[in-house]
Amino acid sequence: MIEAGEKLRRAEEELEQTRELVGADDVELAREAQAEEERLVSRIGEIEAMLLPLLIPRDPLDDRAAIVEIRAGTGGDEAALFAADIFRMYSRFAERRGWRVEIISMSDATLGGLKEAIFKVQGEGVFGCMRWESGVHRVQRVPATESQGRIHTSAATVAVLPEAEEIDVKIEDKDIRIDVFRSSGPGGQSVNTTDSAVRITHIPTGVVVSQQDQKSQLQNKLKGFEVLRSRLLDLRIAEQEAERSRMRRTQVGTGDRSAKVRTYNFPQNRITDHRIGFTIHELERTLDGAIEPLLDALRMASVEERMHE
């Protein structure tokens, strides 16, 4: 912050001196001063943009790992295929950042799609980077199954939850109901032979977590509680965000999970984030994991909002 502030002070001093030369009698000197003035104004804008986020106190949750949940929404097989695209996008993005992805549960659909994927992403500043991805992601494209070439609209929902520790969320035994049942689907020898799958219900909130991807009932229970804690912490954050967003100009936060946040339009090679009106025309590259421009724009919009609170 100090370094950026010093750069800003020097650039402003240079700009002041340069502006004195813009009105010089020497035409060549005045022209050079004008070009230098434009360069310095641009430079000052860049430094201020770099300085703004540093002035906002970091959220202590930003450094947490994140639990990401992706679910196919409206649109049948096409929605499941889009959910798989979103999963791949985040997986490739994590790979680019050197983060580790751990699958918690995965439910496949036909044609290579996904009904649901829950996974944990670990690394430096994961939740702080991905927290704005929560919401409804909509796709507009011609599905592979469409013979008439008609554009279909389908959707997938994304929830990015901060990994919760036991000190964040205290879960009382009396508030929990645990049911065990037999696993279904692929999973090796234990499938349909033992009651290894677990369903955990948090009675006060009605939050239900089902887990069957691990090999034993104990492992499923541990993973289930990990997801449950994160969902309960996320509920608390969402309530706080919803309260704050009433006073905001836009809704960059995580308060409304049912809101349409982004549209991926294949015919126009366009991705639009509706919360901040930001559009880029690099759809294929973005779906291959290059989501930094979207995340950077959301981060700056969030910083500007917080500066005006």
Task: Judge if 230 and 281 occupy the same domain.
Answer: no
Task: Judge if 82 and 141 occupy the same domain.
Answer: yes
Instruction: Give the other-Cβ count within 10 Å of 228's Cβ.
Output: 22
Task: Judge if 132 and 258 occupy the same domain.
Answer: yes
Which domain, by its residues, includes 41? 2-55
The pLDDT of residue 256 is 55
- What pLDDT tens digit does each residue of the chain (309 aa) get? 888 889 999 999 999 999 888 887 888 888 899 999 999 999 998 898 778 777 777 778 888 999 999 999 988 899 999 999 999 999 999 999 999 999 999 999 988 899 999 999 999 999 999 999 999 999 999 987 677 788 999 999 999 999 998 778 889 999 999 999 887 754 444 444 567 899 999 999 999 999 988 888 999 999 999 999 999 998 888 777 766 555 444 455 544 557 799 999 999 999 999 999 999 999 999 999 999 999 989 988 887 777 665
Residue 242 falls inside a structural domain: no
Helices (H), 56-150: 76-97, 126-130
Residue 243 falls inside a structural domain: no
The pLDDT of residue 269 is 96
The pLDDT of residue 189 is 43
Residue 288 falls inside a structural domain: yes
The pLDDT of residue 252 is 56
Task: Judge if 282 and 150 occupy the same domain.
Answer: yes
Task: Judge if 294 and 268 occupy the same domain.
Answer: yes
The pLDDT of residue 57 is 73
Residue 103 falls inside a structural domain: yes
Task: Judge if 254 and 115 occupy the same domain.
Answer: yes
Instruction: Give the other-Cβ count within 10 Å of 221's Cβ.
Output: 17
Which pTM value belongs to this model?
Answer: 0.73
Q: Which of 109, 117, 118 is nearest to 79 (CA)?
A: 109
The pLDDT of residue 250 is 47
User: What is the CATH number for 82?
Assistant: 3.30.70.1660
Task: Judge if 149 and 285 occupy the same domain.
Answer: yes
The pLDDT of residue 305 is 75
* Phi/psi at 144 (5° precision): -60, -25
Report how many domains make up the chain.
3
Residue 27 falls inside a structural domain: yes
Task: Judge if 150 and 84 occupy the same domain.
Answer: yes
Residue 15 falls inside a structural domain: yes
Q: State the DSSP string of 254-284.
A: SS-TTSEEEEEETTTTEEEETTTTEEES-HH
End position of a domain, from candidates 55, 75, 97: 55
* Phi/psi at 306 (5° precision): -70, -30
What pairing do the DSSP bridges indicate for beta strands 197-202 and 207-211? antiparallel
Q: Which residue has the tokens 């751990």?
A: 102
User: What is the CATH number for 221?
Assistant: 3.30.160.20
Task: Judge if 291 and 142 occupy the same domain.
Answer: yes
Task: Judge if 13 and 150 occupy the same domain.
Answer: no
Task: Judge if 156 and 110 occupy the same domain.
Answer: yes
Task: Judge if 81 and 142 occupy the same domain.
Answer: yes
Residue 70 falls inside a structural domain: yes
The pLDDT of residue 308 is 64
The pLDDT of residue 125 is 92
